[in-house]
Every structure is written in C-alpha cells, then in structure tokens.
Amino acid sequence: MPGPVALRLPSRTLVIAAAAVPLALAVLADDVRVRRQLHTARRDPLTGLPGRDILMDRVDRLACGRREYLHVLVADVDGLKAVNDTLGHAAGDVLIAATGRRLSTWAAARGGLAARLGGDEFGVAVLLPPKSTVREIAALSGLLAQPVSREGHTLRPAVSIGTARARDLPDAAGASRLLRGADMAMYQVKTGEQPLGYVATRQDAYAPAAHGRRPGRPGTHLPAA
C-alpha cells in the first residue's frame, strides 16, 4: 500500500494562517468584552441588580428543571414617598440600595437571583422547599425590616412581599404568569387583604392586566381585585 501523502502548503499560506490566529483571538476578546459591557449596562446603577429581562430568563431556566422548588417573589418598599418627602431622595435611595443588597444576598444563598423591577419594586427567583415557604418569607421580612442608618437618621424599612410557587400553577405557566401571581399576592399583603406569607393562587396568576400592569396600580383603568 502506498504510504501517507504529506500535504505541503505554500509558505505564503502558512504565513497568512499564522497571522489570522491573533486576529481571531482579538475578535473573540472583543466579543467577550462587549458581552461584559452589555451585562454591566443592563444592571441597575443604584443597586447593582439586574433588570426584569434577566430575572424572567432565570425564572424560565429554573422552571425547566427545578419547578417543584421554584418560588418567585415581588417585594415592594412601603412608605418610600414619605421618606423622600421628609428626608430627601438621597435617603430614599439609601433605603432602596439597602433593600436590594439584602434581597440579593438572601436569594444568592438559596440558589436564586434578585432584580430591580423599577422604582421601589424588586423581583426574586429562588429555590425553596415548598413546606418552608411561609417560614422563609417571614425570615426575609424580618431581614428587610432591619434599621438603616443615614446621616444620623435611622430608617426603618417596611417591605410587602408576595409569593408565587411554580408547583401551584399549570406547567404551561411561564415567568410572566409567575411574576403576575407574585405581584398580585404582594398587593393583597400590602393592603392587608392577606397575611404575610400569602402564596398566589391560579386566579392571581391569571388576573387581568392593562398594559401588563396589575389591577389597582396607578396608571391602570382596571379596578383593584
């Protein structure tokens, strides 16, 4: 049998190929750098937390393999306007930033993610044993209520929390439905209709909305549930 045939490339081809290697590495480095810049740009400048789109992606990912344990929370800081009006918006920012840090630390310890949805509202995707839902939410409420110092003033946060569990909703219910349910649950806790630790029902998750906003929120024309 004939022996192997050696492939001989012209020296010019070898030079061009060698020159292309650092160029490809440079393109790859630029791509990584751009991705990091985009990731940073999508984070809230005040809290450092990601936004709604990243939270929704995380919820959908966790729902694929950890649906039994997936909890979605919406947390809303109560009385922020009063703080802004009496102590200034800088004090309100301190309260928002402290709430964001606490939520992020709590969520990360439970395999989850916290995000700032806007204004004084946060969203969390976290993995919890279903039997521990009420206990965990009560502990989180206590954590968020810890005093915050600001230039000689002691701020005492109050945060309303609503929860939706993926296991309580149809398998087809994705991130938007879970977030809707948590938002509705939060609103009922805030208004005193339901106690702390209330978990959203299917009705909460499929409540009607105007332009994606919960009934009863400012800017909607739907009555409060």
Tell me the catalytic residues. Answer: 120
First to last CA, the chain: 85
Give Cα separations from 100 to 70, 94, 121, 143, 150 (angstroms).
Answer: 20, 10, 10, 12, 16
* Cβ count near 145 (within 10 Å): 13
Positive or negative CA dihedral for 83, 142, 193, 164?
A: positive
Positive or negative CA dihedral for 118, 122, 103, 166?
A: negative
Local structure of residue 120 (DSSP, 8 states)? T
**How many Å apart are CA 26 and CA 75, to the nearest integer?**
43
Which residue is associated with the tokens 């395999």?
Answer: 111
Specify whether the CB–CB gap between 185 and 204 falls below 8 A.
Answer: yes
**How many Å apart are CA 107 and CA 95, to the nearest integer?**
18
Structure tokens at 129: 């044993």
Strand order in the sheet with 113-118: 113-118, 121-127, 70-77, 159-165
Structure tokens at 159: 């945060």
